[in-house]
Chains A and B, each alone.
Chain A
Amino acid sequence: MHGDGRSRRVVVVPDVVVNPPEGAHDRLSDLALSGWGVVALPPPDLPADVTHPLVAAAVEQVIALLDGGYEVALLPCAADPGMRRFVAALATSGRTVSDLA
């Protein structure tokens, strides 16, 4: 491995961070400035047969990042249904990640 400019730091974020309501603070741009990459969870209003495979894909990607030695954190948002599904699905794989400090 030769490396490049990547941060090796990734944060899992709910859709509301990627698509904030008009007038809300743009946390995604903050994360960009501080060098984080993101794994974005699906919006909460999708049907289950769409949401579940998207959350499963997010879990698979986070596991690949963890296995590669990358730092992965959660943007705390327990009220978000997508985040709750993600945390539960990740737990069934035997993995956990901490909230972003």
Chain B
Amino acid sequence: MRTVCYLAHCLLNANAKVDEGARCAGIYSPVLALLRDRGCTIRQMPCPELAFAGTHRFWAVREQYDTPVYRAHCRRLAEPVAAQIRADLASGARVVLVGIDGSPSMGVELTAASPEWGGRPDKPRDEDYPVSLGTGLFVETLLDLLAGVVLDVRAVGIGQDLLDYDEPAELAKLEAMLGEGAGDAR
């Protein structure tokens, strides 16, 4: 069965990350190598924060982005992705969504959330980064748009935005999600 992986934008372009958030120069090679090894088709999703807030944005939590305008922006970006995913599922492909755990937008199982963040940006990223269970705003929007087929989509978050990021553990999580014989053909 063909496996199509929808990647968070920054996994192929770390330049989209918030300042101090890039864990590599550009393409995150460990994930690329794993997907190549498994013969997966790769799709890059748009980065909702890059176009919305630019490259000079501060790091933020979900509540700071959670406005009607940002949600509409996420929806506009997610609609064509959802259409692609539906088409892939209809063709018999397995679809794996690969987000970024700890991200306010791209988190799958973990996001960054706090009602306390706001005003002067005086929160060091390495202190009290408020991670909590939940999805990021873009991923939430995308999954909503996939109503009816969402149970057919596997989703996993690579914890690149977590302070205790553990690369081998995160890659093992992705590998497990891909399962055996992930991509037999393109």
On whether A9 and B42 interact (CB within 8 A), knowing A31-B27, A67-B54, A67-B55, the answer reads: no
- A46 interfacial contact with B, CB 8 Å: yes
Most buried by B among A5, A33, A37, A64: A37
Q: Which of A52-60, A76-84, A91-99 contacts B (4 or more CB under 8 A)?
A: A52-60
- A89 interfacial contact with B, CB 8 Å: no
- Per-position binary interface string of chain A over residues 1-33, scored 1 when its CB falls under 8 Å from any chain B CB and 0 otherwise: 111111111100000001101100010110111
- Per-position binary interface string of chain B over residues 43-60, scored 1 when its CB falls under 8 Å from any chain A CB and 0 otherwise: 110110011001110000
A46 touching B19 by the CB < 8 A rule?
no
A38 touching B44 by the CB < 8 A rule?
yes
- Per-position binary interface string of chain B over residues 2-39, scored 1 when its CB falls under 8 Å from any chain A CB and 0 otherwise: 00000001001111110111111111010011001000
Chain B contacts for A21, CB-based, 8 A: 186
- How far, in angstroms, from A18 to B42 measured CA to CA in the complex? 7
- How far, in angstroms, from A18 to B56 measured CA to CA in the complex? 28
On whether A9 and B15 interact (CB within 8 A), knowing A31-B26, A37-B25, A39-B44, the answer reads: yes
Chain B contacts for A8, CB-based, 8 A: 15
On whether A65 and B26 interact (CB within 8 A), knowing A37-B12, A40-B44, the answer reads: no
- B41 interfacial contact with A, CB 8 Å: yes
Task: With CB as the reference atom, state the residue of chain A lying closest to B82.
Answer: A50
- In angstroms, how far is the closest chain B Cβ from the Cβ of A67? 6
- How far, in angstroms, from A36 to B84 measured CA to CA in the complex? 26
- In angstroms, how far is the closest chain B Cβ from the Cβ of A93? 12
Q: Is the interface of B mostly helix, strand, loop or mixed?
A: mixed
Task: With CB as the reference atom, state the residue of chain B lying closest to A53.
Answer: B80
B22 touching A32 by the CB < 8 A rule?
no
Task: With CB as the reference atom, state the residue of chain A lying closest to B79.
Answer: A53
- How far, in angstroms, from A40 to B6 measured CA to CA in the complex? 12
- How far, in angstroms, from A11 to B101 measured CA to CA in the complex? 25
Chain B contacts for A61, CB-based, 8 A: 9, 16, 46-47, 50-51
- A44 interfacial contact with B, CB 8 Å: no
Chain A contacts for B21, CB-based, 8 A: 4
On whether A6 and B26 interact (CB within 8 A), knowing A32-B32, A37-B12, A65-B15, the answer reads: yes
Q: 21 A-B pairs, CB-CB below 8 angstroms?
A: A3-B19, A4-B19, A4-B23, A5-B14, A5-B22, A5-B24, A7-B25, A18-B43, A19-B186, A28-B27, A28-B32, A32-B26, A32-B27, A38-B13, A42-B80, A50-B87, A54-B81, A57-B46, A57-B51, A57-B77, A68-B55
